[in-house]
Structure 1
Amino acid sequence: MFYVYVLYSQQACRYYIGMTADLEARLKTHNSGSVKSTKAFIPWKMIHFEKFSTRLEARKREKYLKSAAGRRWRKRNLGM
């Protein structure tokens, strides 16, 4: 299984979208400061995730959520 997830940093009012096979481990990695693009905005909270059976499906959804249309979807459905 692969997951697409949305993280939120309340301290910085920022969102981060990513993909992983292990949600818990990935969130710990983000919050440990090991990820260059997210370490300045710790702590992160997972606010949404979706499960996919293949990596390709998950990657397509991740790319969509990072697009302008995906931002509109997030705003309508997740209140972001």
Structure 2
Amino acid sequence: MCILESEVAEGGRYVGMTSDLKRRLAEHNSGNPANASKFLPWRIVTHMAFPDQAKAASFEVISIRFRARFRQQTLLVTAAGLRKIPRFSKKR
């Protein structure tokens, strides 16, 4: 599990699983996949090891969902002209 971030383009972030972090970073910095090329160069933000692929995949899904939720909240705050993100409670 790794998180890569563009060094120059705001919002350029990749969350995904890999068994070879150096290879994944090299692939992104060579423009593979194609949509990675508009965010060159990439850097490693963090990486984590999990005991098995299923646990890594679960964490990847949670990370992507959290990022999408945070982005929505940031847009709402900006549109409302607020200075900080209010706490949003989840209905259960």
TM-score computed with the length of structure 2 as normaliser: 0.66
Identity %: 32
CA RMSD for the aligned pairs?
1.8
Q: Which has the larger radius of gyration?
A: 2
Equivalent-residue separation in structure 1 for 2:7 and 2:43 (angstroms): 8
Q: If each structure's strand is expressed as a fraction of its own residues, which one has the higher value? A: 1
Q: How many residues align?
A: 69
Q: Which runs of 5+ in 2 are unaligned?
A: 71-92
Cα shift readout 1:23-67 (whole Å, capped 9, x = no counterpart): 111110111112123121110000111101211111111111001
1:64 is aligned to 2:76 = no
Q: Which residue of 2 aligns with 1:55?
A: 53
Asked which structure has the greater RCO (Cα within 8 Å, sep 6+), the reply is 1
SS of 2:9's equivalent? coil
Q: Which runs of 5+ in 1 are unaligned?
A: 73-80
Runs of 4+ in 1 over 2 A off after TM superposition: 68-72
TM-score computed with the length of structure 1 as normaliser: 0.75
